[in-house]
Amino acid sequence: MVGKTKMGDPMEPKMDSQTEHSVDWTAELQAVVERVRSRRLAAQPLAGDHVPTRGDVYLAREPWGRARRRHVLVVQVDEDEDSVDVILLGHYREFATDRDLVLEPSQTGLPFVLVAYCDLRAPIWTIQLDEYQGLVAGDVLDLLPKVFHGAAPDSVARSVGLPLKGEDDPRRGHKHREFLELHRIAHDRMAASLTGRPYFGGIESPSADIVVTIQRVLDEGITPSNPDISPNAVAVLDPAILTTPLADSSEEGAEVYQLKNYLERHPQVVFPFSIQGDGDRLQHLIKRQYPRHGTNLINALARRGSGLLSQSGRASEGDVPEIVLIEQAV
């Protein structure tokens, strides 16, 4: 009995020590989680109406709002065009080349590593910035052009990948796939730049006798006309209503109510030819612009039947349409 006790005694301290070590390890993990969580919460904006600025990290979506999103870094903001220039961000440091900069969690406020593809830059519409994620400091942003030109300073050598080697370098295929990802997100804004189209989502400048709009999207220097619309006029709703973000989200309900009532009273006012018959596109624009009340407008349009579609006729080419303000309508 005594021998068994002596043999058993040395085991007990080991078990206690092992248990105690496990508890300490759990506490350490919890502390790490709390530090990461606190840093991430500190990086979040206090309000949902965060205005995009240079250095912001966002989740950006495709022009037509499909489920897949990608992290992007905002490097330039163009308020006049309602667009931003972004650099695509990846997640695999092992695929970094000498044109890519690895961003550590301490540099973004996010709990994971990101890779800035400095040679994958493109413009996208501001409305495609779906969810604010974090912020990159100015000194890091200043490194991006240097990394793009393959001239990263020695101080950040460990944050930059190695140059591409032969044609069989697997990083070539990875970079090509990421290029296609960026094109998937940016193609609509790039097409707009090539064609001179100032609108998001493939909506061309409407050719019509009358363009019906609202005060918040009316360009400076334009004087609206008499609100009366003749029955034979080609009258379209200004697509900028659905593509220009609201300055105050609390005004969403009132604007939807105003649009719904106006369109119900004026069935001759329709949508531009470029979105004729594309119900999915139109519904997406409405839901994106009015996430809380857009269903009310969609239902009102559905009750109009064929009035939901655009005029097939067009006004004379070169004619300047009259501008009618909904606010002035009786």
Domains of the chain: 56-195 (2.30.30.110), 202-328 (no CATH)
Q: Return the higher-pLDDT residue of 195 and 137.
A: 137
How many angstroms from the chain centroid is the CA of residue 299? 26
Instruction: Determine phi and psi for 284, rounding to 5 degrees.
Output: -65, -45
What region does 328 belong to: left with phi over 0, alpha with psi -120 to 50, or beta?
alpha
Distances 291 to 67, 283, 297 between C-alpha atoms, Å: 16, 11, 11
Q: Is the pLDDT of residue 46 over 90?
A: no
Q: Is the pLDDT of residue 181 over 50?
A: yes
Q: Return the higher-pLDDT residue of 226 and 20.
A: 226
What pTM does this model have?
A: 0.56
Give the pLDDT confidence score for residue 284 in this predicted structure.
74
Residues 6+ apart with CB under 8 A from 323: 210, 211, 213, 218, 222, 223, 224, 225
Give the pLDDT confidence score for residue 242 in this predicted structure.
81
Residue 25 has a CB neighbour count (10 Å cut-off) of: 10
Q: Is the pLDDT of residue 319 over 60?
A: no
d(C-alpha 212, C-alpha 235), whole Å:
7
The tens digit of pLDDT for each residue in 247-278 reads 788 999 999 999 999 888 888 888 765 555 55
d(C-alpha 91, C-alpha 225), whole Å:
53
Residues 6+ apart with CB under 8 A from 28: none
